[in-house]
Structure 1
Amino acid sequence: MQHLFKLGLLSTAILTSQITLANDFWSQDRQWLLGDWGGERQQLEQQGYKFNASIMSQAATNLSGGYNDSHTVENAGQLTLGATFDLSKIAGWQDTTASLMITKRDGNALTNETIKDPRSTTLSNAQEIYGRGKIWRLSQAWIKTGLNDNTLQLKIGRMGMSEDFNSSQCEFQNLLLCGGQLGKSIGSIWYNSPVGIWGANVKYRIAPEWTLGLGVYEVNPDNVKIQSNRDGFNLDMNNVKGATIPVELAWKPKLALFNGLAGEYKVGALYSTADASDVATTAKVHDGKHSFWLNTQQQLTEHEGDAKRGLFASLNVVVNDKATTMVQSTQQLALWYKGAFDQRPNDSIGLGIANYVVNKRVRDRQIATNISRGYTEYDAVASNYVPIQRDELNLELNYSYQWSPAVMLRPNLQYIHHPAGVKEVDNAWVAGLSMRVNF
């Protein structure tokens, strides 16, 4: 499978041809593109077996700017196959769930091809679905159980870390505006989906509105190997370098804010026990690293009394260890309005802004390296010149067209200020299109 996007388009085209045979094929209430299997699917769910298959495809083209202003189109995609098992129904294990998920990523990133200086370390990406190798992966294989009416929840197995910590809404195609931020700045110790790692966590509801979480996850470079499909299913722990230990306090206010509209506020911190090189000199090694974060998401208004429609907002901030991390901090602010049009109650309009702040110690090292090589200003062609990286700002405006729960299209316009933090590279305008199909 070399081109998931083409596969998605082919599948959609074939299934579209069935419209003439089934008038309700494109019903806006259709949960899955392949239907309910004659009622079998819902019956299986009632028995505790829930299956899902989906394709996410993200295309992007540079309208202007970037390191290479040739107008090209790149596509990245992911196929996801998963199953969730309600073990309280299947085996009588109360409040217990298990999950399996396999993923396959493919395609190319416009940011790497034309937007950033190829000599620079990538910061954000115009296609968040790209990355972690074009291989099959076992992304989830975990079991979770609740005790004392789910006051205490325990989870263990293979999982992505942002499933349970530093998680956030994803209403955008731009990487930094989508989901948890830690994996975008400390990816050597924090693994988001599709990477699955061995870990365990516990969540304790200390009060009706407050939950405290604690986790332990392996730091294992083998989990991010991308040489072959075998690497995506390597379950051994032979190369473990340490553990990442996150702790997070979450508050879900019921009535206090915004007329009782739903919201969640989280603060967290992590410590990694794995050795980490100093960003200013590789000769110095630290015996760990740390990060802090703030995640907030709040519905601000409701549309004509419908709480499913209205204005939503998220604010996310990460602050990383200055001694060991290239990206010192990230900030993200996003707004989206769901159901602005009565005839399209499930569509949404999104506007987001996100920023990378590169560690000044990294910048000082890059400057010193260039001076030692005889460069005192930006050189656009020299292979041994190291581009000086500062901040990178990303903006996205999009419209999410939700035809049904089975089909979503998201055209978007992105603006990238100082791609990869290199001010000498022209600011870029990017047009994108995300497509998600649930089969």
Structure 2
Amino acid sequence: MTRTLFGTALLLSVSSLTLSHAYAQAAQPVVQAAQPSVQTAQPGVQAVQPVVRSAQPGGQPAARPMTVGGYANRVPARVVTPAQPAASSGQGGFFPASYDDWIRGSTMTGDWGGARTNLENHGVHLQGHYLEDAAGNPVGGKYAGVRYAHEFGIGADIDLARLIHHDLGIFHILITERAGLSLANGPLGGAVDSVQQIFGSGETVRLTRLSLEKHFNPYVWMEAGWINTENDFGQSTQHWGMSLYCQFQTNAICGMPQGIAMNSGYGFYPTAHPGAWIKLFPAGNDHYLVSAGIYNVDNTIVNTHNGFKLGLGDSTGTYLPFQLGWHHGNDYHGEYEGNIKVGGYWDTSEVAIVTTKIGGYQPKNVDLLDLPTDQVRGRFGGWVEADQMIQRDGPGSSRGTVLFGSFVWGDPRTALTPYFATWGLVRKGTFADRPNDTISFGGKIAVLNPKLAEYAETLQQQGQKALRPSNEPGIELNYGWRPTPWATLRPGLQYVWHPGGTNRYANALIIDMETGLTF
């Protein structure tokens, strides 16, 4: 029943993308490419966001930071529909003419002798990136250790209107490869949240995006295919072209508030789930957003051998999110930019109640007597996110400070963290000659479900040395050094109180380094 319902809805979404082409072609918004110097969502990853022309003070084009989905806002979506063809870098050969040309270029591999610009002018934007997270805990946790994890990605955003002269939409494809080990799962003894945001979802090569996105007019956008929910619901907003959340290495913050994914069938990056979404802009601009989606829930998609799984064979249900958004202001001129998003979901899956997870928090010698194992159909939850620029160095400046916060609430019957919150402060432009460097300070608190503590207390009353799960707070301070537009090095410190949410292990200090390169 669930599989049939989902398949029918997805088929209707894809059909509407195609059948509405003739009607929508005349109503397309005028879109131009942003400048290649704009920093991206993820450290070191360069991309250009679709920018809608407007009469913003000072001539600054108005982007849609809340609504333009990317690969979990790590690599924002590229809509290659410039008003004028892009100009070549002027390189005569395949390699840069000088060291200065190379180090100041927008990508590590340059313009490929003009071939890259030629592809851009035909609507084809190719991209590649490398990201790594190295982290070690000299103090605290289960034992001291160092872990490394990385991700390679290669993909394309293809504007079919420019490539084949038929405005069918923007075709997206992304393949990622992950490898490495987790500090949270080893030396930290099973922390609630990974301290390396690039680790997880099966360390393998996988399809991360294969979809068609269509902007029918300034009021209606849609996308359907194999996508992840993290692109478009509960995602980070962007300031100065950068993902706000992914200025942090901890996975508790980067991408989206992690509690949403832990409590439901939310499809997180880099997994790809059959799905579709629709976004409505009631005012025809980015000031207001009403969006809804439908995604297949498949818990096996994270397994290493399921990197290219496209079917619905192990579907447990359907994830149905919605989101309302309000955006105001601008990063560069006039009113300071700010965003508020309110969202929620219904997951039709049948899942076990939260007490069944208690074993992961107890020593092996604890007997789980009379453990409740009831199943419930359907789980729900919601979130609130807000960010606000609080300071700008001057009119037209790309240097300033932004404050953000989020709160997640989950179904008390099934949610591992029914209360989850994040906060942070990001300063862009650290010194007069470092306008693109950042200093970021933020934190999270994951409150574990009180039902786990209640059951642990029952075991304690029986004379067992059971541990009471409670919460896991953490903070992070880092410096994002951008020596070139295509590279970022981000050294930082994290501190996690009672890793794993119990008093089993000592508080942990974490020293980390994140590196990002755009090819």
TM-score scaled by length of structure 2: 0.73
CA contact (8 A) 1:261 1:307 kept: no
Which residue in 1 is equivalent to 2:509? 429
The one-letter amino acid paired with 1:197 is: H
CA contact (8 A) 2:264 2:380 kept: no
After superposition, residues 205-354 of structure 1 pair within 5 angstroms as 205-207=281-283, 208=285, 209-226=287-304, 228=305, 231-254=306-329, 260-280=335-355, 282-354=372-444
Moved over 6 A (4+): none
Deviations 1:283-316 (A, max 9, x none): 3221100011011122221113234210012211
Deviations 1:138-180 (A, max 9, x none): 0000111112x23101110011101011001311001112121
Q: Does 1:390 align with 2:470?
A: yes
Which residue in 2 is equivalent to 1:112? 185
> Once the 2 structures are TM-superposed, how far is the Cα of residue 264 of structure 1 from its aligned partner?
1.7
Among residues 464, 472, 482, which one is paired with 1:375 in the alignment? 464
Which residue in 1 is equivalent to 2:28? none
Deviations 1:181-228 (A, max 9, x none): 2566426511211111000110011124111000000112231222x2
Secondary structure (helix, strand or coil) at the match of 1:114 reads coil
Counterpart CA distance in 2 for 1:340 and 1:304 is 14
Q: Does 1:401 align with 2:481?
A: yes
CA contact (8 A) 2:161 2:168 kept: yes
Deviations 1:225-279 (A, max 9, x none): 22x2xx1101111221210100100111248xx9512222100010001112112
Deviations 1:401-439 (A, max 9, x none): 011221100000111111111124211111000000111
Gaps of 5+ in 1: 1-18, 377-385
After superposition, residues 26-105 of structure 1 pair within 5 angstroms as 27=103, 29-68=104-143, 70=144, 72-94=145-167, 96-105=169-178
Which residue in 2 is equivalent to 1:160? 228
Which residue in 1 is equivalent to 2:15? none
Counterpart CA distance in 1 for 2:260 and 2:192 is 8
The one-letter amino acid paired with 2:386 is: T
Q: Does 1:139 align with 2:208?
A: yes
Counterpart CA distance in 2 for 1:188 and 1:321 is 9
Q: Alpha carbons of 1:363 and 1:185: their partners in 2 closer, same or farther (altered >3 Å)?
A: farther
Counterpart CA distance in 1 for 2:127 and 2:174 is 9
> Once the 2 structures are TM-superposed, how far is the Cα of residue 107 of structure 1 from its aligned partner?
0.5
Secondary structure (helix, strand or coil) at the match of 1:368 reads helix
Secondary structure (helix, strand or coil) at the match of 1:162 reads helix
Deviations 1:344-401 (A, max 9, x none): 11000000011100010022223434655x424xxxxxxxxx6432111110000000
Counterpart CA distance in 1 for 2:219 and 2:97 is 50
The one-letter amino acid paired with 2:436 is: N
CA contact (8 A) 1:101 1:138 kept: yes
Secondary structure (helix, strand or coil) at the match of 2:503 reads coil
Among residues 104, 112, 124, which one is paired with 2:193 in the alignment? 124
The one-letter amino acid paired with 1:133 is: G
Q: Alpha carbons of 1:188 and 1:106: their partners in 2 closer, same or farther (altered >3 Å)?
A: farther
How many equivalent residue pairs?
398
CA RMSD of aligned residues (A): 2.1
Counterpart CA distance in 1 for 2:344 and 2:511 is 35
The one-letter amino acid paired with 1:115 is: L
Q: Does 1:365 align with 2:438?
A: no
Secondary structure (helix, strand or coil) at the match of 1:41 reads helix
After superposition, residues 131-210 of structure 1 pair within 5 angstroms as 131-147=200-216, 149-168=217-236, 169=244, 170-182=246-258, 185-186=261-262, 189-207=265-283, 208=285, 209-210=287-288
Gaps of 5+ in 2: 1-94, 237-243, 356-370
CA contact (8 A) 1:246 1:268 kept: yes
Q: Alpha carbons of 1:187 and 1:319: their partners in 2 closer, same or farther (altered >3 Å)?
A: closer
Give % identity: 27
